[in-house]
């Protein structure tokens, strides 16, 4: 019986380890068990997709995997656009205003499983959500409401 060659065994072991590592490693900028998630961090992600800083503009949520759909936010009476302020990536930003309400105009219809609103007056959230929930043609409903309130 022929004795196994130690050099061949070491070479086979190295090739096997390299193949296994290359199959399990994701390309740069991707992560997940099947490399299905793209890194959306302002800085690079770690191997698990965690961000050391904040998400890229237009992305938010768990490991920056949720796309921020474009919208316009308007405080009416007086009309004042607050879209930029609401998207400053700072949860401590506070908008103080004396107005009848806040209108959020979605540029398209989306499937959003949730929306996050933070307010010091939770009793005011109901009226804002009422508009979001009832919208079928978002822009037209809001246009009608604004026209009805215009002098």
Same domain, 73 and 61: no
How many angstroms separate the CA atoms of 140 and 105, rounded? Answer: 10
pTM of the model: 0.53
Same domain, 73 and 139: yes
The residue out of 15, 40, 68 marking a domain boundary is 68
Same domain, 36 and 100: no
Same domain, 34 and 88: no
| Overall number of domains in the chain | 2
Banded model confidence at residue 9, pLDDT cuts 50, 70, 90 = low
pLDDT tens digits, 23-51: 458 999 999 999 999 999 998 898 889 99
Same domain, 100 and 60: no
14 falls within a domain: no
- The structure tokens listed for 2 are 């022929």
Instruction: Give me the chain's average pLDDT, please.
Output: 72
Reduced to 3 states, what is the DSSP secondary structure of residue 89? coil
pLDDT tens digits, 44-93: 898 889 999 889 988 888 899 988 877 777 777 667 788 787 777 676 77
pLDDT tens digits, 96-126: 766 667 777 777 776 665 566 666 777 766 6
Same domain, 116 and 139: yes
Q: Which domain holds residue 73?
A: 69-149
Same domain, 63 and 95: no
- Residue 45 maps to which CATH number? 2.10.25
Give the model's pLDDT for residue 18.
47
* Percentages of the chain per state (helix, strand, coil), in multiples of 5: 35, 15, 50
138 falls within a domain: yes
CA-closest candidate to residue 61, choices 114, 129, 103: 114
């Amino acid at each position: 019986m022929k004795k196994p060659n130690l050099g061949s065994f070491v070479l086979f072991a190295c090739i096997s380890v390299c193949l296994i590592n290359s199959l399990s490693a994701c390309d740069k900028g991707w992560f997940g068990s099947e490399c299905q998630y793209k890194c959306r961090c302002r800085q690079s992600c770690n191997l698990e997709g965690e961000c050391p800083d904040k998400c890229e503009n237009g992305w938010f949520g768990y490991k920056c995997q949720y796309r921020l759909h474009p919208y316009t936010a308007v405080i009416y009476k007086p009309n004042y656009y607050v879209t930029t302020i609401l998207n400053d990536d700072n949860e401590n930003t506070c908008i103080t205003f004396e107005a009848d309400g806040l209108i959020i105009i979605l540029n398209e219809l989306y499937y959003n499983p949730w929306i996050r609103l933070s307010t010091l007056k939770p009793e005011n959230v109901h009226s804002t959500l009422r508009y979001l929930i009832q919208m079928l043609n978002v822009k037209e409903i809001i246009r009608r409401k604004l026209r009805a309130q215009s002098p």
